[in-house]
């Protein structure tokens, strides 16, 4: 990986957002303090109906390295990221979510790790933060984003903390905008199968708010279940025949040093509930979803 030295930005940070003015404000405020020369922030509004765009436009008046583009034809985070990629010019593309914050040295540390490891695709450490101390929030914080494990066992990093060399997209195509969830894993597996080098930056930390309400967490798991069924529909050779949900994998809640038996039991119950939500989402998609022909599949 070689960053350009011409007048174009060496790196673009792509941030999709939908109806989250407070989240994008916090993210842009955080990115103003980055210790990195030659980067641009591309915010992609995915059809917001609230104050989100006005918040970004206000920030643009103070930050000349922030740009706003719009993707309001296809609703979905991967469609928004694709719009950002198409608008970008940097040699390396970094991806964050619109409610995350980073340390001033995050990008510099991540790029150094990318160069040191010869990585074309790099996941960063994700630390979940609690805006309020709820049982659901603590559960989510303990079961959130083990990025290193994802890379080791499933060959992907989540798009909330990811850097990718532009050449990877040029050779493999972009994310699959047909997916409501799981597009980060599908793309990461493509990267791995093509032989690109994947890496991990332990010291480049992205701070992601934990979901603190049961409604928010159940919606996420419902969407994850739908996404897996969609991956089977579009990629049966990799994920299996639709109709047979995946075997549960990944963290299921809690460490050995939990505070009490009550917390252990509550986390176990939440794990079962979230697994059930994924199952409901899976079969909802299986029985009601259809193959989308209005959105093109990723092409090289």
The pLDDT of residue 143 is: 84
**Predicted confidence band at 5 (pLDDT cuts at 50, 70, 90)?**
very low
Average pLDDT over residues 2-7: 51
pLDDT in tens, 76-115: 999 999 999 999 999 999 999 999 999 999 999 999 999 9
Given this model, what pLDDT does residue 9 score?
Answer: 55
Q: Write the DSSP string, 71-84.
A: --SS-SHHHHHHHH
pLDDT digit string, tens, across residues 203-226 = 999 999 999 999 999 999 999 999
Mean pLDDT for 54-66 is: 92
Q: Given this model, what pLDDT does residue 244 score? A: 82
- Going by pLDDT thresholds of 50, 70 and 90, the confidence category of residue 253 is very low
How far is residue 145's CA from residue 150's CA, in Å, rounded to a whole number? Answer: 8
Distance (Å, whole) CA 71 – CA 66: 16
Residue 237 burial (C-beta neighbours within 10 Å; 0-12, 13-18, 19+):
exposed
Question: What is d(CA 196, CA 173) in angstroms, rounded to the nearest whole number?
Answer: 14
Q: Mean pLDDT in the chain?
A: 92
Q: pTM of the entire structure?
A: 0.92
- Read off the tokens for 84: 């950002």
Q: How confident is the model at residue 64 (pLDDT cuts 50, 70, 90)?
A: confident
What DSSP assignment string belongs to 190-232?
Answer: HHHHTT--EEEEEEEEEEEEPP-SHHHHHHHHHHHHHHHHHHH
- pLDDT the model gives residue 158: 97
State yes or no: pLDDT of 8 exceeds 50.
Answer: no
């Amino acid at each position: 990986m070689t960053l350009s030295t011409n007048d174009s930005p060496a790196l673009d940070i792509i941030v999709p957002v939908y109806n989250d003015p407070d989240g994008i404000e916090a993210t842009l405020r955080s990115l103003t303090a980055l210790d990195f020369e030659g980067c641009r922030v591309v915010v992609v509004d995915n059809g917001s109906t609230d104050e989100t765009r006005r918040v970004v436009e206000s920030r643009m008046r103070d930050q000349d390295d922030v740009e706003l583009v719009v993707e309001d034809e296809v609703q979905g985070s991967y469609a928004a990221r694709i719009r950002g990629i198409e608008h970008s010019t940097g040699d390396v593309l970094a991806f964050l979510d619109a409610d995350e914050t980073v340390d001033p040295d995050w990008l510099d540390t991540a790029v150094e790790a990318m160069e040191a490891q010869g990585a074309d695709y790099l996941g960063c450490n994700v630390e979940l933060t609690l805006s309020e101390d709820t049982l659901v929030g603590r559960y989510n914080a303990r079961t959130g984003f083990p990025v290193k494990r994802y890379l080791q066992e499933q060959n992907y990093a989540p798009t909330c903390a990811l850097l990718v060399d532009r050449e990877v997209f040029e050779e493999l195509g972009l994310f699959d905008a047909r997916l409501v969830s799981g597009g980060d894993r599908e793309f990461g597996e493509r990267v791995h199968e093509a032989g690109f080098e994947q890496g991990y930056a332990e010291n480049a930390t992205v701070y992601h708010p934990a979901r603190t309400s049961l409604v928010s967490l159940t919606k996420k798991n419902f969407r994850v279940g739908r996404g897996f069924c969609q991956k089977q529909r579009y990629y049966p050779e990799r994920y299996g025949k639709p109709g047979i949900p995946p075997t549960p994998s990944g963290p299921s809640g809690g460490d050995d040093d939990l505070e009490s038996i009550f917390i252990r039991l509550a986390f176990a119950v939440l794990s079962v509930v979230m697994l059930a939500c994924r199952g409901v989402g899976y079969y909802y998609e299986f029985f009601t979803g259809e193959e989308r022909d209005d959105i093109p599949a990723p092409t090289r």
